[in-house]
A and B are shown apart, each in its own frame.
Chain A
Amino acid sequence: MSTHPTTAPLLRTVTVAVSAERAFEIFTRRIGDWWPLSTHGCFDDEAAGVAFEGDLLVERSKAGEEAVWGEVLAWEPPDRVAFTWHPGYAAGQPATEVEVRFRARGGATVVELEHRGWERLGERAEEARASYSTGWVGVLDRYAQAV
């Protein structure tokens, strides 16, 4: 069984010189301290913060609006956290999934981020196109303006 190249998971890895416990903590409970919201969020410069709140990953604007980026699927400190991923989508639109794994290696931690579920967009092409027009394309356009 071969995976279609455009629906294969995206994998990104970074090694951080801290323990897995610390890496997990900073990625999750302290996500609001470092996430680059002005360029990688829904509200640009109007963003007030982002946090895991219960089972949701939520970005809030200064004006009090909220954008739910996804729902938590797994919360297993210090090994992994996983959540659905649909910032910019209206509720009910097809969502991809993000899993972040933390593996201790020596005194450091290898953090592997897997972004998968692209086939859900592909199988529902019509809906995906509709959501691009209001969702991700809007984010892409704002990003292109920002960089």
Chain B
Amino acid sequence: MQALGDPTRRAVFEQLRSGPRSVGELASGLPVSRPAVSQHLRVLKGAGLVTDEQQGTRRLYRIARDGLEALRAWFDSFWDAVLAEFKAAAEGEEKV
């Protein structure tokens, strides 16, 4: 899954597993800047893996565990990877 292909992004995702966090909280637990964390969150959100909501003055990010969106986003990457293997196998064999 491309969205989780980057080690820092994976670390951001991992941190959200233990519960919702703000950008500041995420940045304080990682050796990267706040803007970098925001950028990673945008990618994760774009992939449907993470959702956010405003709570008072804070914006909290959480893993979209229950969402069909997360499942669908995951399957987008899943089938791309599976079909790539299929193509390689089908064409690789043909050339032999």
List, sorted by A's number, 29 A–B pairs whose CB atoms are closer than 8 Å.
A10-B75, A12-B76, A12-B80, A14-B86, A16-B91, A17-B91, A17-B94, A22-B94, A30-B89, A35-B82, A35-B85, A36-B81, A36-B82, A36-B85, A39-B81, A40-B82, A111-B86, A113-B83, A115-B75, A118-B68, A118-B72, A132-B65, A132-B71, A136-B71, A137-B65, A141-B17, A143-B4, A144-B1, A144-B13
CB distance from B81 to the nearest CB of A (A): 6
- Provide the residues of chain A in CB contact with B56, threshold 8 Å: none
Chain B residue nearest in CB terms to A12: B79
- Provide the residues of chain A in CB contact with B58, threshold 8 Å: none
Query: Is there contact, CB below 8 Å, between B89 and A26?
Result: yes
Query: Is there contact, CB below 8 Å, between A10 and B74?
Result: no
Total residues of chain B contacting the partner, CB 8 A:
33
Is A18 located at the chain interface by the 8 A CB criterion? yes
The 10 closest A-B pairs by CB, nearest first: A34-B89, A14-B83, A12-B79, A16-B90, A6-B68, A26-B90, A34-B85, A18-B94, A36-B85, A18-B90
Interface centre among B13, B76, B78 (most CB of A within 10 A): B78
Query: Is there contact, CB below 8 Å, between A12 and B5?
Result: no
Query: Pick the contact of B79 from A27, A39, A113 — CB < 8 Å?
Result: A113
Counted as pairs of residues, one from A and one from B, with CB atoms less than 8 Å apart, the total is 86
CA distance A129 to B68 in the complex (A): 10
Residues 41-64 (chain A) with a chain B CB within 8 angstroms: none
Is A65 located at the chain interface by the 8 A CB criterion? no
Q: A34-B85, A147-B10 are in contact. Are A22 and B71 (CB under 8 A)?
A: no
- Provide the residues of chain B in CB contact with A27, threshold 8 Å: 86, 90
Residues 41-66 (chain B) with a chain A CB within 8 angstroms: 65-66
Chain A residue nearest in CB terms to B88: A34
CB distance from A40 to the nearest CB of B (A): 6
CA distance A36 to B80 in the complex (A): 12
Residues 95-147 (chain A) with a chain B CB within 8 angstroms: 111, 113, 115, 118, 121-122, 129, 132, 136-137, 140-141, 143-144, 147
- Provide the residues of chain A in CB contact with B88, threshold 8 Å: 34
Query: Is there contact, CB below 8 Å, between B81 and A33?
Result: no
Query: Pick the contact of A115 from B65, B68, B79 — CB < 8 Å?
Result: B79
